[in-house]
């Protein structure tokens, strides 16, 4: 019998802990497939965040370092500056990257650090139980914005891709989504491109991936995909915000 | 190699390079700025990496990444900056990564001042960051010692897979003294086969300080404690000066110990049997030094540029067997031999 579909080499067989309907599993797989296709598994070093993906080091079949909350870009910088020939990625959620680790990601991007960041934006803190994130939409209810996010009180959600695209060192900035198959395929392309840009030594690359959190959104997996499309896509438009061509 | 006149902060930098350090991540703060400045000039000359981070927090996490990737790596700062680094230091200790950290102490708390102090002793030796961990802490008293200790610190860090802290102060960082760079006898070090270098031909290496199951975390903690026990046994360093027949033993480290040495000499001229016990390793605290003291010792006097921090370790070690007195100046003030002598006489009783 011909095998037509298999687990990527860059993934372990470990069963993931993610909630049903969460798209972390899909995003992990896309990154692993890209690593396989570029044939760089044996030179890849990943950095796991604090947050839902804290155990990412158990799922990727490559060298991994686990970082303190928000510090993954700094840790990745230390790794890359030590081993410039390795492919180094960070995998970070929105609390990790856009809140406590805002300085680290901005400066890694500004330095043009030759690393790639996969930034998973589900507009909420997942692991700590559904608190407001810097990416929580205005009006969105969370456990720490029980009356809905009030912009007059806590301001506005940060559009990370738009912000980082203003930096010269950020060579590739793209926002994708994984709410349906065509978008998943586009997300895969962007992730692979981000790694390729790193391998070519062009500078910093980041792919923001819009993701779901059925547990903390209080929705079924299917309703969550629906909610993402109806609410997140408008405030977080998809597309390539910066490419190497523009950077020239 | 011939002796050369060097500033303490710069000498540390050259010592690190001599010891094979090729990665330095730092952030400016007075009075340690000459060290990152020196590294920014020297590292490119030796194919090394100097990177000025956006913050102390970032710098120490770059150290974590580089150490995990197998580098000989160093960072430096001064008191408020070291406070910011504590998060990363706890992670580095938890993940068992070797690195060298330099703290050129200034007065605190808070922003404090920029003058020298020893008021980070407790932070350095008792923790500073969260969790059950210790740092190996060395307190040099001269620019030459800063050089020697920095060079050895890299080996010690690699040997134990643990961070080593060089605890200096603004005086030592800023003073110029003649130094020579004699590479210490190297320890037998195991290859860093645990480092993240890409999993070619082997299973993945993981650098991590997370252990979600309490049984696993406890196991990890006891293993760390076992390592600290070994360090306590093997790495205690101290100097005993004029202690053979001493009635009063002054205990001081770093810059203060040099002033105390003058005070001891002057006390001896006045016929007072004073001696100096100088802890060189601050953690492990040199308990072995106290065991070597003669029965003639009537009292101890801890002298520090703090409101009284190391004196707690002296009291713990003496354990009530003798009185332990304290004299200190804070805020960037340096104790004078005269005031130390006065205090020493008072400790021994008014009849002197």
**DSSP characters for B251-282?**
E--HHHHHHHHHHHHHHHHTT--EEEEEESEE
Smallest Cβ distance to A78: which of B63, B87, B200?
B63
CB contact under 8 A, B206 and A76: no
Length of chain B: 352
Nearest CA-CA distance, residue A183 and chain B, Å: 31
- Sign of torsion over alpha carbons A87, A93, A96, A102: positive
> How far apart (Å, rounded) are the C-alpha atoms in residues B79 and B119?
9
What is residue A165's three-state secondary structure? coil
In chain B, residues with a C-beta closer than 8 Å to the C-beta of A80 are: 65
As given in the structure block, the two tokens for residue A5 are 């579909």
How distant is the Cα of A231 from the closest Cα of chain B, in angstroms?
34
All residues at 6 or more sequence positions from A134 whose CB lies less than 8 Å from its CB, including other chains: A94, A95, A98, A99, A102, A157, A158
Please answer whether residues B95 and B65 qualify as being in contact, where contact means their C-beta atoms are separated by less than 8 angstroms.
no
Q: Establish whether the linkage from the previous residue to A115 is cis, with ω within 30° of 0.
A: no
User: Can you give the pLDDT at residue B329?
Assistant: 98
Q: Which long-range contacts (CB under 8 A, 24 or more apart) does B343-349 make?
A: B343/B301, B343/B303, B344/B248, B344/B250, B344/B263, B344/B267, B344/B272, B344/B274, B344/B301, B345/B267, B345/B272, B347/B248, B347/B299, B347/B301, B347/B323, B348/B247, B348/B248, B348/B272, B348/B298, B348/B299
Predicted pLDDT of residue B321 = 97
B80: exposed, middle or buried (Cβ count in 10 Å: 0-12, 13-18, 19+)? middle
Rg (CA), chain B: 21
B106 burial (CB, 10 Å; 0-12 / 13-18 / 19+) is buried
Q: What is the pLDDT of residue B351?
A: 47
- Which stretch of DSSP H or E encloses residue B176? strand B176-179
Provide CB contacts within 8 A for B187, sequence distance 6+: B155, B156, B158, B159
A interface mutation test: which of B21, B23, B61 has the most A CBs within 10 A? B61
pLDDT of the residue at B349: 85
- Please answer yes or no on whether A78 and B53 come within 8 Å at the CB atom: no
B200 to chain A: nearest residue by CA?
Answer: A42
Cβ–Cβ gap A77/B51 under 8 Å: yes
CB of A65 within 8 Å of a chain B CB? The answer is: yes
- Nearest CB to B198: which of A45, A74, A76? A45
Per-residue pLDDT of chain B (352 residues; tens, 9 = 90+): 689 999 999 999 999 999 999 999 999 999 999 999 999 999 999 999 999 999 999 999 999 999 999 999 999 999 999 999 999 999 999 999 999 999 999 999 999 999 999 999 999 999 899 999 999 999 999 999 999 999 999 999 999 999 999 999 999 999 999 999 988 778 999 999 999 999 999 999 999 999 999 999 999 999 999 999 999 999 999 999 999 999 999 999 999 999 999 999 999 999 999 999 999 999 999 999 999 999 999 999 999 999 999 999 999 999 999 999 999 999 999 999 999 999 999 999 854 4
Q: For residue A141, give both structure tokens.
A: 């209810």
- The tens digit of pLDDT for each residue in A66-101 reads 999 999 999 999 999 999 999 999 999 999 999 999
Mapping DSSP to helix (H, G, I), strand (E, B) and coil, where does residue A103 land? helix
- The answer to whether the Cβ–Cβ distance between B64 and A44 falls below 8 Å is no
Contact B65 A83 (CB under 8 A): no
Which residue of chain B comes nearest to A44, CA vs CA? B198
- Strands A63-66 and B206-207, by their bridges, are parallel
pLDDT in tens, B197-241: 999 999 999 999 999 999 999 999 999 999 999 999 999 999 999
Cβ–Cβ gap A82/B73 under 8 Å: yes
Interface of chain B toward chain A, CB-CB under 8 angstroms:
23, 25, 49, 51, 53-55, 57-59, 61-71, 73, 87-88, 91, 95, 196-201, 204-210
Asked whether the beta carbons of B84 and B78 are under 8 A apart, the reply is no
Residue of chain A nearest B64, judged by CA positions: A75
Select from A61, A75, A103 the Cβ nearest to the Cβ of B54: A103
Buried b (16+ CB within 10 A) or exposed e, B303-327: bbbbebbbbbbbbebbeeebebbbb
- Asked if B274 and B268 touch (Cβ cutoff 8 Å), the reply is yes
How far apart CA B56 and CA A90 sit, in angstroms, is 20
Say what the pTM is: 0.97
Q: Distance between CA atoms of B205 and B160, rounded to whole angstroms?
A: 18
Residue A35 predicted with pLDDT over 80: yes
Please list the alpha-helical segments (H only) found in A97-210: 102-110, 151-154, 160-164, 181-199
Structure tokens at A88: 């180094």
Tell me if A104 and B73 make a contact (CB, 8 A cut-off): no
CA nearest to B240, candidates B158, B177, B297:
B297
Phi/psi region, residue B331 (left: phi>0; alpha: psi -120 to 50; beta: rest), is left
Contacts of A74 in chain B (CB under 8 A): 53, 57-59, 61-62, 64-65
Cβ distance of A60 and B204 shorter than 8 Å = yes
**Closest listed residue to residue B93, CA positions, set B223, B224, B192:** B224
B106–chain A nearest CA distance, Å: 26
What are the chain B neighbours of A62 within 8 Å (beta carbons)?
198-199, 204
Residue of A nearest to B205 (CA): A63
Distance CA B232, CA A120 (A): 45
In this prediction, residue B127 carries a pLDDT of 85
> Taking residues A114-120, what's their average pLDDT?
98
Burial of B38 (0-12, 13-18, 19+ CB in 10 A): buried
DSSP-derived secondary structure letter, A206: E
Q: Nearest by CB to B196, from A63, A104, A106: name it.
A: A63
Q: What is the pLDDT of residues A200-228, one digit of tens each?
A: 999 999 999 999 999 999 999 999 999 99
Number of H helices and E strands in chain A, helices first, is 12, 7
Tell me B37's DSSP state. H
Tokens read off for A82? 């030590």
Rounded (10°) angle between helices B8-18 and B143-160: 40
Interface contact A68-B88, CB threshold 8 A: yes
Alpha-carbon gap: B333 to the closest alpha carbon of chain A (Å) = 36
Q: Which residues of B touch A65 (CB under 8 A)?
A: 64-65, 68-69, 196, 206-208
Pairing of strands B73-77, B99-105: parallel
Sort out which chain B residues have CB atoms less than 8 A from A67's CB and list them: 61, 64-65, 91
- Closest CA of chain A from B77, distance in Å: 17
In angstroms, the Cα distances linking B237 to A128, B203, B222, B227 are: 45, 40, 25, 17
pLDDT per residue over B296-336, tens digit each?
Answer: 999 999 999 999 999 999 999 999 999 999 999 999 999 99
Preferred mutation among A51, A81, A113 to probe B, highest tally of B CBs within 10 A: A81
Q: Is the peptide bond before B31 cis (omega within 30 degrees of 0)?
A: yes
Nearest in space to B116 (alpha carbons), one of B172, B69, B46: B172
Q: How far from the centroid of its chain's Cα atoms is residue A21's Cα?
A: 17
Distance between CA atoms of residues A188 and A176, nearest Å: 9
pLDDT band at A246 (very low <50, low <70, confident <90, very high): low
Closest CA of chain B from A3, distance in Å: 25
């Amino acid at each position: 019998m011909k095998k037509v579909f298999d687990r990527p080499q860059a993934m372990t067989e470990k069963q993931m802990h993610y909630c049903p309907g969460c798209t972390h599993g899909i995003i992990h797989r896309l990154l692993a497939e890209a690593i396989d296709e570029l044939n760089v598994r044996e030179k890849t070093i990943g950095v796991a965040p604090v947050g839902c993906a804290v155990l990412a080091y158990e799922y990727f079949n490559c060298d991994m370092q686990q970082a303190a909350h928000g510090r993954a870009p700094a840790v990745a910088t230390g790794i890359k500056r030590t081993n410039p020939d390795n492919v180094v990625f960070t995998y970070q959620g929105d609390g990790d990257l856009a809140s406590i680790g805002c300085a680290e990601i901005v400066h890694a991007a500004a330095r043009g650090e030759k690393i790639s960041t996969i930034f998973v934006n589900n507009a909420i803190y997942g692991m700590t139980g559904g608190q407001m994130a810097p990416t929580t939409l205005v009006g969105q209810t969370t456990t720490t914005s029980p009356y809905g996010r009030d912009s007059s009180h806590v301001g506005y959600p940060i559009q990370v891709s738009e912000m980082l695209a203003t930096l010269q060192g950020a060579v590739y900035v793209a926002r994708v989504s994984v709410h349906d198959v065509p978008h998943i395929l586009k997300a895969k392309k962007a992730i692979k491109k981000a790694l390729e840009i790193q391998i070519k030594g062009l500078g910093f690359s980041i792919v923001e991936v819009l993701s779901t959190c059925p547990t903390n959104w209080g929705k079924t997996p299917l309703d969550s995909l629906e909610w993402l499309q109806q609410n997140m896509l408008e405030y977080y438009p998809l597309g390539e915000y910066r490419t190497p061509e523009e950077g020239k | 190699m011939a002796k050369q006149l060097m500033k303490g902060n710069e000498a540390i930098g050259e010592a690190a390079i001599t010891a094979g350090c090729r990665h330095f991540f730092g952030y400016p703060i007075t009075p340690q700025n000459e060290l990152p400045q020196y590294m920014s000039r020297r590292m490119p000359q030796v194919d090394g990496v100097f990177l000025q981070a956006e913050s102390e927090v970032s710098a120490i996490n770059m150290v974590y990444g580089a150490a995990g990737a197998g580098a000989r790596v160093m960072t430096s700062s001064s008191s408020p900056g070291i406070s910011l680094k504590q998060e990363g230091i706890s992670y580095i200790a938890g993940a068992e990564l070797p690195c060298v950290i330099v703290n050129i102490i200034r007065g605190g708390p808070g922003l404090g001042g920029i003058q020298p102090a020893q008021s980070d002793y407790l932070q350095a030796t008792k923790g500073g960051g969260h969790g059950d961990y210790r740092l190996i802490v060395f307190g040099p008293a001269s620019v030459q010692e800063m050089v020697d200790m920095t060079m050895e610190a890299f080996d010690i860090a690699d040997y134990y897979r643990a961070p080593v802290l060089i605890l200096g102060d603004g005086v030592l960082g800023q003073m110029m003294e003649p130094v020579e760079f004699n590479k210490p006898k190297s320890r037998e070090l195991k290859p860093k086969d645990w480092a993240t270098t890409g999993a070619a031909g082997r299973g993945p290496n993981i650098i991590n300080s997370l252990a979600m199951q309490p049984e696993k975390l406890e196991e990890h903690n006891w293993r760390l404690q076992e390592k600290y026990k070994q360090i306590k046994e093997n790495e205690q360093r101290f100097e005993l000066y004029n202690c053979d027949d001493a009635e009063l033993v002054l205990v001081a480290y770093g810059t203060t110990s040099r002033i105390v040495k003058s005070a001891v000499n002057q006390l001896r001229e006045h016929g007072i049997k004073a001696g100096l016990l100088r802890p060189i390793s601050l953690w492990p605290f040199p308990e072995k030094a106290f065991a070597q003291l003669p029965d003639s010792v009537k009292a101890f006097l801890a002298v520090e540029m703090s409101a009284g921090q190391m004196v707690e370790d002296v009291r713990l070690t003496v354990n009530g067997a003798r009185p332990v007195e304290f004299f200190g100046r804070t805020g960037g003030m340096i104790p004078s031999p005269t005031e130390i002598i006065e205090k020493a006489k008072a400790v021994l009783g008014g009849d002197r």
